[in-house]
Amino acid sequence: MIPRPFDYERPRSVEEAVSILAGAGGRDAKVIAGGQSLVPMLSLGLARPDVLVDLSRLELNGIEAVDRRVRIGATTCHRTLELDPEARRLLPLAAEAARHVGNPRVRNRGTFGGSLAHADPAAELPVVAVAHGGEVVAHGPGGERRIPLAEFFLGYLETALGPDEVLVAVELERPPETSGVGFHEEAQRADDFALACAAAVVAPDGHARVVLGGVGDRPLRFEGPTDELPAAVEAAVEPEEDVFVSAAFRRRLAGVCARRALARAKEDAGA
């Protein structure tokens, strides 16, 4: 299908992007980053914006360590997380998860900020972000605003970002050196969204955190002793049935993903 016509703006600064979004009046203005969710949605008629604001010329990409955090620029692409040696060193959990996102061409163009702003409940990178914890850095008409990751995802394709805000970066907490991380996903094919996935962080004393994707309307976070978490996850999640799998099967997968991600994290902590 051919998308419905819209206007297109290519601002040169974040301030300009925000002022276009804020000045749109009754018109539906939307940001476009990598376009890997948005362009297919335009073609399918699932998104019908009046104005698109392209972030590609804002140079918001890049990864840097800042104190105990890692700052990921909004337009850093999945492929950088997957392949760049420095990114892999700083964010091994994101590197492992990024490998599971779509296909190589989707990863070449899709962005970290776009993945978080899009907030697909089966997406991998929001799960990784919540497992790290930290803040989303957004710019709006009132300037910069910081949103804790624990409060960012509100539901299916819904976040705390306002319609006139641009996500400019995400600052992820780095787990302590002594802890380990692990990721596990179950999907129907290599390039599909997860049926269920889990990101885990385990401390040497056995205390763990595991975040589940694909089994609720947003990433779901659990904390407790490593050995008790998989059963707790399986008891707590309330996935819905869909055309692929039953609710009961998805609940089982949640437990399996949690167990395997935690096992990998435990191994990583010991290494």
Partner 1 sequence: MMLELLLNGRRLREPVEPHVTLLRFLRDQAGASEVKYGCGEGVCGACTVFLDAVAVNACSVLAVQAEGARVETVSAFAGDGSLHPLQQELIERGAVQCGFCTPGVVLGSIEAVRLGLAGDRMTIRRSLAGNLCRCTGYGKIVEAVEAYRDGEGAA
Ligand X SMILES: Cc1cc2nc3c(=O)[nH]c(=O)nc-3n(C[C@H](O)[C@H](O)[C@H](O)COP(=O)(O)OP(=O)(O)OC[C@H]3O[C@@H](n4cnc5c(N)ncnc54)[C@H](O)[C@@H]3O)c2cc1C
Length of the chain: 271
Site map for partner 1, 79-118, x if CB under 8 A? Answer: ----x------------------xxxxx-xx---------
Residue in the shown chain whose Cβ atom is closest to ligand X: 110
5 binds, among ligand X, partner 1, none (CB under 5 to 8 A by kind): partner 1
**Among 47, 52, 198, 265, which residue interacts with partner 1 (rule: CB under 8 A)?**
52
Q: Which is nearer to partner 1, 13 or 246 (CB)?
A: 13
**Among 15, 27, 43, 205, which residue interacts with partner 1 (rule: CB under 8 A)?**
43
**Interface with ligand X by CB under 6 A: which residues?**
30-38, 40, 55, 74, 101-102, 106, 110-111, 113-115, 117-118, 120, 123-125, 161, 166-167, 191-193
189 binds, among partner 1, ligand X, none (CB under 5 to 8 A by kind): partner 1
Q: Which is nearer to partner 1, 55 or 202 (CB)?
A: 55
Least distance (Å) between residue 180 CB and partner 1 = 25
Confirm or reject binding of residue 32 to partner 1 (CB under 8 A).
yes
Q: Which is nearer to ligand X, 111 or 179 (CB)?
A: 111
Q: How many CB atoms lie within 10 A of CB 65?
A: 13
Size of the site for partner 1 (CB under 8 A): 31
Residue type, 260: R
Distance, in Å, from the CA atom of 67 to the CA atom of 88, rounded to the nearest integer, reads 17
**Among 66, 150, 190, 235, which residue interacts with partner 1 (rule: CB under 8 A)?**
190
Distance, in Å, from the CA atom of 154 to the CA atom of 151, rounded to the nearest integer, reads 7
Least distance (Å) between residue 239 CB and ligand X = 17
Residue type, 103: N
**Among 54, 120, 173, 217, which residue interacts with partner 1 (rule: CB under 8 A)?**
54
CB 142 within 8 A of CB 158: no
The contact set with partner 1 (CB under 8 A) reads 1-8, 10, 32, 35-36, 39-40, 42-44, 52, 54, 56, 83, 102-106, 108-109, 189-191
